[in-house]
Amino acid sequence: MWIVPEGEIAGLMTREAAFDAVEQVFAAMAGGAACNFPVVREALGHEEALYGFKGGFDGAGMVLGLKAGGYWPHNAARRGLINHQSSVFLFDPDSGQVKAMVGGNLLTALRTAAASAVSIRHLARDDAKVLGMIGAGHQAAFQLRAALEQRDFEKVIGWNRNPGKLARLAEVAGEAGLPFEAVELEGMVEADAIITITSSFAPILGAGHVSPGTHIACMGTDTVGKQEVEAELLARATLFTDEVAQSVTLGEAQHAVAAGLVGAGDITPLGAVINATHPGRTGAEEITIFDGTGVGLQDLAVADAALQRAIATGIATKVKI
Ligand code: NAD
């Protein structure tokens, strides 16, 4: 089996490679060639850790495996490690033999950023100029970098509960040669595309904060109870997601569904737009929302891309099984 340790991922993976891997697997999911397995997530009763498995099989890309990992809230303070820890295990789909272990921490950020970038590529207006960021935590800078590559953005605006943290996003915008402005939520009406990436449990972005024609990638809500966007806004928008079953149960749409404002039938897999079996955005005034819940197949897709690059460049270590 091959081993690709966490420390090698940054030198191996590019945003483009992550984008391509995620776009392809979304297409395979919508076409019925790839499916995610039920997610296991358990409290360990040790270190207050949450641990689990996200697996799946992509019969188009021939990728089988799982991501094992979770959240250890005391890692940063006690061990100088990041709190999210994960590893991806890939298996030979022909034999079931273990094929590779790939470090999953950086890959998680890259695949999550790739998902919203794919949604912007396929759903934002072509003339989108202003990108709005809500949230300025660990994931936000990855999100911003990937999004800026999808349109000729001219300005970035941002809101965070603690505005001091927005300095990091201003730096990232500056690296791309773009001005950055910290705004109140009302200021988001200027945005043509918005990414929400917080761990909020109450709506932040209201229906009145969004202009017609905006695309919103809701990326923070990946758990029952979390919420970033007012349910009424989903009722007014055309809805897309990575996986409908997750969107209605633990994604941003869970609240609009519970309120009876939308149903599973109102939500389209983004892969259908990629496969051109759904038209995606149909007008310049339409609000589109991508509910990015995060699926195991995304992790497997980027891990497989990293593995192929690691083998090709001699970075992967082979061990006997
Ligand atoms: P982080 O802890 O580094 O940052 C959290 C962010 O949320 C900060 O900007 C913080 O100010 C904001 N926030 C927290 N509580 C808030 C509240 N009540 N109101 C307003 N803002 C609040 O976290 P991160 O690693 O950047 O992750 C952000 C979110 O994205 C988390 O919810 C995480 O679970 C989720 N996530 C989703 C995916 C996916 O595939 N969809 C993948 C990774 C992470």
Q: Are 314 and 279 part of one and the same domain?
A: no
Query: 158: Cβ below 6 Å to ligand 1?
Result: no
pLDDT at 170: 98
pLDDT at 283: 97
pLDDT at 201: 96
Q: Are 231 and 168 part of one and the same domain?
A: yes
pLDDT at 216: 99
Query: 222: Cβ below 6 Å to ligand 1?
Result: yes
CA distance 183 to 62: 45
Q: How many domains does the chain have?
A: 2
Instruction: Examine residue 239 and state whether it is found in any structural domain, yes or no.
Output: yes
Instruction: Examine residue 6 and state whether it is found in any structural domain, yes or no.
Output: yes
Q: Which residue from 82, 197, 219, 228 has its CB within 8 A of the most atoms of ligand 1, so it is best to mutate?
A: 197
- Which residues of the chain fall below pLDDT 70? none
Residue identifier of the C-alpha nearest atom 18 of ligand 1:
200
What does the pLDDT look like over 224-275, one tens digit per residue?
A: 999 999 999 999 999 999 999 999 999 999 999 999 999 999 999 999 999 9
pTM, 2 dp: 0.97
Q: Are 37 and 142 part of one and the same domain?
A: no
Q: Are 129 and 184 part of one and the same domain?
A: yes
Instruction: Examine residue 119 and state whether it is found in any structural domain, yes or no.
Output: no
Q: Which residue from 41, 143, 199 has its CB within 8 A of the most atoms of ligand 1, so it is best to mutate?
A: 199
Q: Are 201 and 90 part of one and the same domain?
A: no
pLDDT at 5: 97
Q: What does 217-245 look like in DSSP terms, one character per residue?
A: EE-S--STT-EEE-HHHHHHSEEEES-HH
Query: 204: Cβ below 6 Å to ligand 1?
Result: yes
Beta-bridge mates of residue 55: 66
Q: Are 149 and 71 part of one and the same domain?
A: no
Instruction: Examine residue 188 and state whether it is found in any structural domain, yes or no.
Output: yes
pLDDT at 77: 94
Instruction: List the one residue out of 24, 96, 41, 7 whose CA is nearest residue 305.
Output: 24
What does the pLDDT look like over 1-38, one tens digit per residue?
A: 999 999 999 999 999 999 999 999 999 999 999 999 99
By residue range, what is the domain housing residue 22? 2-108+297-318
pLDDT at 247: 97
Q: Are 12 and 96 part of one and the same domain?
A: yes
The CATH number of residue 167's host domain is 3.40.50.720
Instruction: Examine residue 118 and state whether it is found in any structural domain, yes or no.
Output: no
pLDDT at 104: 98
pLDDT at 58: 98
Q: Are 68 and 135 part of one and the same domain?
A: no
Instruction: Examine residue 117 and state whether it is found in any structural domain, yes or no.
Output: no
Q: Are 134 and 283 part of one and the same domain?
A: yes
Which ranges in 48-190 belong to alpha helices (H)?
A: 75-79, 105-123, 138-148, 166-175
The CATH number of residue 37's host domain is 3.30.1780.10
Instruction: Examine residue 82 and state whether it is found in any structural domain, yes or no.
Output: yes
Instruction: Examine residue 120 and state whether it is found in any structural domain, yes or no.
Output: no
Q: Are 171 and 258 part of one and the same domain?
A: yes
Q: Are 306 and 277 part of one and the same domain?
A: no
Whole-number Cα distances in Å, 55 to 35, 68, 164, 165, 183 = 9, 9, 37, 34, 39
Residues classed as catalytic: 67
Q: Are 304 and 290 part of one and the same domain?
A: no
